[in-house]
Structure 1
C-alpha cells in the first residue's frame, strides 16, 4: 500500500472517530436545552454553533482527504449539503449541475479544488461550481485574490514545492488526485476573481 493510500486511511479514521463523540456531545446539549426551565443561554448557543462548525469540517475533510472508492458514487444533494455546512462565512459555494451524480474520486478532486480556491481568497468570495458529465467549471468572484503561485504551479505543472505547510496540504493532495483520476486543471486568476476548468485527459471514472 502506498503512502498516499495510508495517509487517506489515517485521515478517514481520525475524522470518523472524532465525529461520533462530537455528535454525542451535540445530542447531550440538545437534551439539556429540552430540560424543564432550561432556556438556551448564550453559552449554550456558542457551544452548539462551535460543535456544528467542527462536525461540518470533519465531514468535509473526510471526503476531501479520505480514500475515494472508484465504485462509489457521490450524490449532488450530498455535495451541496456538505459544502453549505462547511462554508458559511466570507467564502460561499453554489452549484449548478445536470442532475447527475459523480464517482467518488471525481467528487474528491472537486472538494480539494474548493479548498485550494478558498486558500487563494484571503478576504473571502463567492465560488460557483458548474458540473457536467465531461467537465467541471469553477468561477470565482472575490474582493481580492492572493493565489499562492508556487502551490498552483505544483498543481498544474508538477513544480516542486519546498517546505509545504499543513494549511496548504490540499494543493499536494490535489496534484496526486488529478494524476490518479486522469484529469488536468486550467487556472486563471485576476485581481478579484478566477476561472478554473477541470477536464479529463485519459479514461477515468466520471
Structure 2
C-alpha cells in the first residue's frame, strides 16, 4: 500500500494548522479582551499577552517554513545558525526546556536541517513538564550524523511516532501526529540513510545518519 505525496502534504498542512491554532487563537482572544477592557493595568497585560502570542506565532511559522517547506531553495546548504535560532525559539516558548547546542561546522545540508528540526520538535513535545534538550550534529566526508536527546520527568512519546521514525508505519496509517516523523524517514531513505530512536523512563534519544550525494 502506498501514500501519495499529495496525501502527505495535506497531513503536514493539517499539522501546521493544528499547531498554529493555539497562538493565533490567543491573539484573537487578546484583541477581544482589549476592546472591552478599561483598566490601564489590565490593558497593559493584554498588550503583553498579544506580543507573546505574536512572537510564538512568528517563531512557529519560521520553524515550519524550513522544517516542512522549501525555505532557502532546494539542494542548498543551510547555515547552522538558522536551525539553532529556530529550535532555541521553539524551546524558549515552552519556558521549561533548556537547550544545549553542539553542532559542528558552519553549514549543514538542507536535508539534514529538515531532519534535525523535526527531530527537535518531536523531542520538545516529549517534555510536557520541561527538561533538557541536547542537539548534536557532525558533517563528515561521507555522511552527516545527527543526535537529539530529550531528558526530563515522565517522557511523553507516542509509539506510533517511533514506528514512523523506524520506517515501520504503514503509509496508509500515517496521521497528522505521525506525518512529520514519516516525512523525515522518507528523506533519510531517499539518500540511503536511516533514523533510530531509544526510549527510557527519563530520556528519549533519536539519531540519524544521512549519506551525502543526493542532497
Matched, 1:111 2:121: no
Distance in 1, matches of 2:9 and 2:175, equals 16
Distance in 2, matches of 1:58 and 1:125, equals 24
Q: Deviation digits for residues 73-124 of structure 1, max 9, x if unmatched?
A: 2111122111112221234433112223012111001111112223333323
Alignment of structure 1 residues 9-158 onto 2, 5 Å: 41-67=44-70, 69-88=73-92, 89=94, 90-133=96-139, 134-158=144-168
How far has the Cα of 1:189 moved from its partner? 0.9
| Unaligned 5+ runs, structure 2 | 28-39
Q: TM-score, with normalisation over the residues of structure 1?
A: 0.73
Q: Deviation digits for residues 26-46 of structure 1, max 9, x if unmatched?
A: xxxxxxxxxxxx998111111
Which has the higher mean CA deviation after the structures are superposed, 66-75 or 76-85? 66-75
CA gap 1:119/1:46 in 2 versus in 1, 3 angstroms: closer
CA RMSD of aligned residues (A): 3.2
Distance in 2, matches of 1:62 and 1:137, equals 22
What is the count of residue pairs matched by the alignment?
A: 182
- 2:166 match: secondary structure: helix
Report if aligned partners of 2:191, 2:211 keep a CA contact under 8 Å in 1. no
